Amino acid sequence: MNCKICKTTTKQVFSTKILKKHDVNYFHCEACGFLQTEEPYWLEEAYGESINVSDTGYMQRNIGLSQKLTIFLSLFFSKNSKFLDYAGGYGVFVRMMRDIGFDFYWDDKFTTNLFSRGFEYDSKTKIDAVTTFESFEHFVNPVQEIEKLLSISNNIIFSTETLPNPIPDPEEWWYYGLDHGQHVSFYSEKTFEYIANKYGLNYINLGTFHVLSKRKLPTYAKYVLKFSKFGLHKILQKRLKSKTWEDYLKMSEK
């Protein structure tokens, strides 16, 4: 089986059960460090619900990401920038970021927009950066998805767990998602560096999330997010104007 990132021949590293019933093979690429399942024939069953029931960290993750993104976007983007949350789920994150004061829009072809209705993405809108959280591991065709993101913006901010070294056994790493079967692609830092080189981007690992960008971010960027625990996001938020009331007036006119 060839690697879905760099097309190199991969090596089968283990087999395990997904959804407690399907025996699935996993293949590793030594060239770019990518780990992938065999072609995922079980996805229709796995996506009975787009947000899996075991994702108990959904709200806490959105709260934490909104705080860290307030710091990152305030320091490295204009307050007039427009952002797209790709694979945005129920629209929770978009609503949070608009409430803080960022001009965010929503897009997700698999999930209903419940919390940010009226702010769906229009391809005519110029987007300065795309955010996409906990989606890369779901990509069946990651190169195709990454190229789609780059067609929207050359700044991609995303979260996914990086593949440990050595590769964990199935029972040793929760992120394989064996109970829900939706995680089929796993990336190492080496993988992201390969992707960055392929598309002429800069890659930076910020711990909580990653950035692929045409911009050369300063070295201190990887440290500033640590200040969220000291309330830096609250200080920076004071410089922004919440869109909550503005959005209410706009929606009331419809």
Alpha-carbon gap, residue 159 to 207, rounded angstroms: 9
Encode pLDDT of 3-51 as tens digits: 999 999 999 999 999 999 999 999 999 999 999 999 999 999 999 876 7
Q: What is the pLDDT of residue 50?
A: 64
158 neighbors 135 (Cβ within 8 angstroms): yes
**What is the topology classification, in CATH, of domain 56-252?**
Rossmann fold (3.40.50)
Look up the pTM and report it. Answer: 0.94
Tell me how many degrees the CA angle 153-154-159 measures, rounded to the nearest 5: 90
Task: Give burial (CB, 10 Å; 0-12/13-18/19+) of 110.
Answer: exposed
Q: What is the pLDDT of residue 127?
A: 98
Encode pLDDT of 113-134 as tens digits: 999 999 999 999 999 999 999 9
Asked if residue 166 has a cis previous peptide bond (ω within 30° of 0), the answer is yes
Q: What is the pLDDT of residue 56?
A: 80
Alpha-carbon gap, residue 84 to 94, rounded angstroms: 8
Which amino acid belongs to residue 105? Y
Q: Which among 97, 104, 144 is positioned nearest to 120, based on CA atoms?
A: 104
